[in-house]
A and B are shown apart, each in its own frame.
Chain A
């Protein structure tokens, strides 16, 4: 349990650094550390497959692309637009309301009934595969269609318009 609290502290600490870092590249590097602490959370929950997939897909691929883009665009103080004061106030207000809503809904969930897994080995690859391809086959396949549509959209954006080219 103390490990969980330590890792949870680190997750929150690094995610605060993500939004407070001045340099966007530093911000991404803190985000990488945050995702790494998530990987440790998954391992603590015995969800090994999820942990390693989080490691490969988020840390190894998506954030590399983030870093890649941020290194190429020139983000410095001169080109950064200065936001008006009212927008900042509105942002703080909206964020505060979201935090209150989340806290109250979480309190309701925790009070009713804590979820206890019947099978603690559920997160292992074999069990996860069996559950995905038997019980949740339809949602699994539908989500792959979602990915396909995103891919088609990306290809459509990347190809040149025949009229303008």
Chain B
């Protein structure tokens, strides 16, 4: 069930009315209802995979209770390892089995050893990378004594499967979300109005920006060998805005929908394209994943290797980003994507003091915009690897940017469409910049205006959404992860 469909709209209206009208006096019934609604939401796509969410939730619910009971530290360590193993085996089988088997066969083929192909026809369960990370972090937090294990079965299962953020995040921490299931939620008009604004902006990002820019991006990437250098650069840049609109749009709708039900989810994006280095981008892009990786992968690794000096830091950073790349998909292109980010972050770490000096010497008014531009260019370059069909295609795409003529007469054929897309992106980025310190771009837009002006602005966004609505709009890109 996609957020930008009529089915979801009907589903949510039913949930919203029942939740606030019939169940408002009982937190327990509300939680049970949310659990059932979440399983219906997920089961709509494929009910068979509900068993995976159930298994992941059950194992972490029970194991966390075991760890929290008075047991020896060694036993607690064994239990947390079992919990991580269950989740990673599930994720590994459904997402990476074919990738590892194929890579293994290819490796042997390099030495002229032919192995028979044993790939399986495995369907990737939607959102598996998101909810396994969410439930794993709960058990690890209990193991680290940062959290008490819950005995509230329904709340915990609802926390793992909470439908607004189940399939594409934000990857919530139990320390933020689980506790919200225990307390009474009151319908709040002010908060609901903010939620509606956030959903509206999320729909704009997805329907107007991502789906439309995506049409041009697909045309360029699908026929990249026939494109001019300019078209290839434009295609790559537009993809940067497509993926941002797509994913940040989903997150905004998710946070807004949760807000309408009285829950506060974490902020997942904060104007990442105005960052001055790749480290900063990762602090502002998919924040729930980057902080997850920081807390559960990078920091433990860096602590373990702290006596290796600078090499330990570089090693932990590289490994974290190689796995971050692999988290995005079971293909070598994602590993390479991660490697380029690992390299950039390592560069950032070791040049921090030098860059500070440069900023002083050059003057920040010149240094800052150049940094933003260079950071965005590097980001866009890595996204070519991300978007191309394979690592090989990405390489040819990049080579073509240099080898092909900069302009060809064909560039004029879609000039109008391309110009419209650039216009949409400029509009999007202008609001993104103005709202860069807010939890979402238009959080306070129009607040000081008279009501009529504010509503005219919202109506204009709604008009754009209907005007640019693509009946064959793509599913959210991050669903495949």
**Is A bound to B?**
no
Residues of chain B whose beta carbon lies under 8 Å from any beta carbon of chain A: none
